[in-house]
């Protein structure tokens, strides 16, 4: 099983949006995927509860994680972490992860929080020994704004790669409401967003070649 941890201690950074859409992409590739929600707000779990049965299946893992994972036997686990994760909780989450995705929103507060978080992550054993692949994802970006330009400068100077930049769009609000990912939507609605996700899905595919490479 490959585990993708979605983490950033800053609340509102886009963790749930990123986690649910990554899970939706994997499910659409006919991968057995489980979504683990360790955030007390349980936003990902609520999204799953709203997910229509006709969409590709995603398993849910709650508090009794180990036994539920054994029952589901997923190829992939996507973990939506809690805001404020730190200390031993963060170390444990990183220890169990193969990939870390860090969502970053375009604000001075998010950039500062992410900078501190990445400094902590860089000192962990998993990163120093090269066992953890880390990708940064710019979230809710409006390219016309000054804050987007500041985010671009910040990400360009990071030691870890930016693997995608996702626009600020109502499509993500609608997907959250409907239990959908952008990959569940028809081409006429989501093609532009699929293109923005393509660098991220290709990067994920390189981390674990069992996933079918997107065209």
pLDDT in tens, 132-162: 999 999 999 988 889 889 999 999 999 999 9
Domains in the chain (CATH in brackets) are 2-207 (3.40.50.300)
Q: How confident is the model at residue 213 (pLDDT cuts 50, 70, 90)?
A: very low
pLDDT at position 156 is 92
pLDDT at 198 over 60: yes
Q: Indicate the burial class of 98 (C-beta count within 10 angstroms; 0-12, 13-18, 19 or more).
A: middle
Tens of pLDDT along 94-137? 888 999 999 999 888 999 999 999 999 998 888 888 889 999 99
Q: 3-state SS of the chain?
A: CEEEEECCCCCCCCHHHHHHHHHHHHHHCCCCEEEEECCCCCHHHHHHHCCCCCCCCCEEECCCHHHHHHHHCCCEEEEECCCCCCHHHHHHHHHCCCEEEEEEECCHHHHHHHHHHHHHHHCCHHHHCCCCEEEEEEEEECCCCHHHHHHHHHHHCCCCCEEEEEECCHHHHHHHHHCCCHHHCCHHHHHHHHHHHHHHHHHHHHHCCCCCCCC
pLDDT at position 70 is 75
pLDDT at position 63 is 59
Tens of pLDDT along 9-53? 888 889 999 999 999 999 999 999 999 998 888 999 999 999 999
Instruction: Pick the more confident residue, 207 or 196.
Output: 196
How does the average pLDDT of the chain come out, rounded?
A: 89
Measure the CA–CA gap between 105 and 10, rounded to whole angstroms.
Answer: 10
């Amino acid at each position: 099983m490959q585990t993708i941890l979605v983490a950033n201690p800053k609340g509102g950074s886009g963790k749930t949006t990123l986690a649910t859409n990554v899970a939706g992409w994997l499910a659409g590739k006919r991968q057995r995927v489980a979504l683990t929600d360790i955030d007390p707000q349980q936003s990902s779990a609520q999204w799953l509860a709203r997910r229509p049965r006709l969409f590709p299946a995603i398993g849910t893992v709650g508090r009794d994680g180990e036994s539920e994972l054994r029952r589901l036997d997923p190829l992939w686990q996507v973990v939506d972490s809690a805001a404020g994760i730190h200390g031993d909780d963060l170390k444990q989450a990183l220890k169990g992860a193969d990939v870390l995705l860090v969502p970053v929103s375009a604000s001075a507060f998010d950039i500062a929080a992410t900078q501190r978080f990445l400094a902590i992550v860089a000192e962990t054993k998993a990163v120093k020994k090269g066992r953890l692949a880390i990708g940064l994802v710019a979230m809710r970006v409006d390219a016309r704004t000054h804050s987007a330009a500041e985010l671009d400068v910040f990400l360009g100077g990071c030691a870890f790669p930016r693997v995608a930049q996702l626009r600020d769009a109502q499509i993500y609000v609608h997907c959250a409401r409907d239990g959908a990912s952008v990959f569940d939507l028809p081409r006429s609605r989501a093609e532009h967003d699929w293109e923005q996700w393509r660098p991220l899905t290709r990067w994920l595919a390189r981390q674990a070649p069992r996933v079918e490479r997107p065209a």
